Amino acid sequence: MRFPGSGRLGRIEAADLLDGFSKNGGSIREFSRRSGVPRTTLQHWFDRAERIDMPESAVRFFESGDGQRFLHRLYVALLLELHERGNCSLRALSCFLRGAGLDRFIPSSKTSLAKGCAELESAVVDFAAREHDRMAADMPAKQITVAEDETFPSGICLVAIEPVSNFILLEKMADNRNLG
């Protein structure tokens, strides 16, 4: 999963490229030729980092490959733990990122965060499908109890839950609470 709007080359890959340039030195033109990244793109990356209104050491860290990997983990944790599990609004997450000054490095608009949530949810569903097939092959069959319940996320949602694990087996939006 990449930050939304990160283009063809993700921020982590771009930061790793710039780290390589910083370590090896040389001209931007030569580095552009070797890396295959247009010179104007490289220059834009350097100029953008220089315009960030933060201490130089912080910019150097957050614009590095390690900094970008940290920000990516933070971004995923914010979306997963605070928004998905903790019911924190995207507006509140956006305000947090701006208040912490991280909006200079992480997309913080509600639209970007919503896109990130959708990508995260898709990645979780894909992972669950792969793991289900892999784990089911070695798992013995057993009887379970199913309990009926309902939730009200944006209307009435009827659910079937396995009460020991609290795993939701089925969900169905409904007009009323009748099971029929």
What are 108-164's pLDDT values in tens digits? 999 999 999 999 999 999 999 999 888 988 888 889 999 988 887 778 888 899 999
Q: What spatial distance separates the first Cα and last Cα of the chain, rounded to whole Å? A: 41
| Both tokens assigned to 14 | 């771009």
Q: How many residues does the chain have?
A: 180
- Average pLDDT for 81-107: 93
Strand locations in 19-175, DSSP E? Answer: 147-151, 156-162, 167-174
Q: Work out the mean pLDDT of the chain and round it to a whole number.
A: 87
Residue 161 identity (one-letter amino acid): I
**pLDDT tens for residues 24-44?**
777 888 888 888 888 888 888
Mean pLDDT score, 44-70: 90
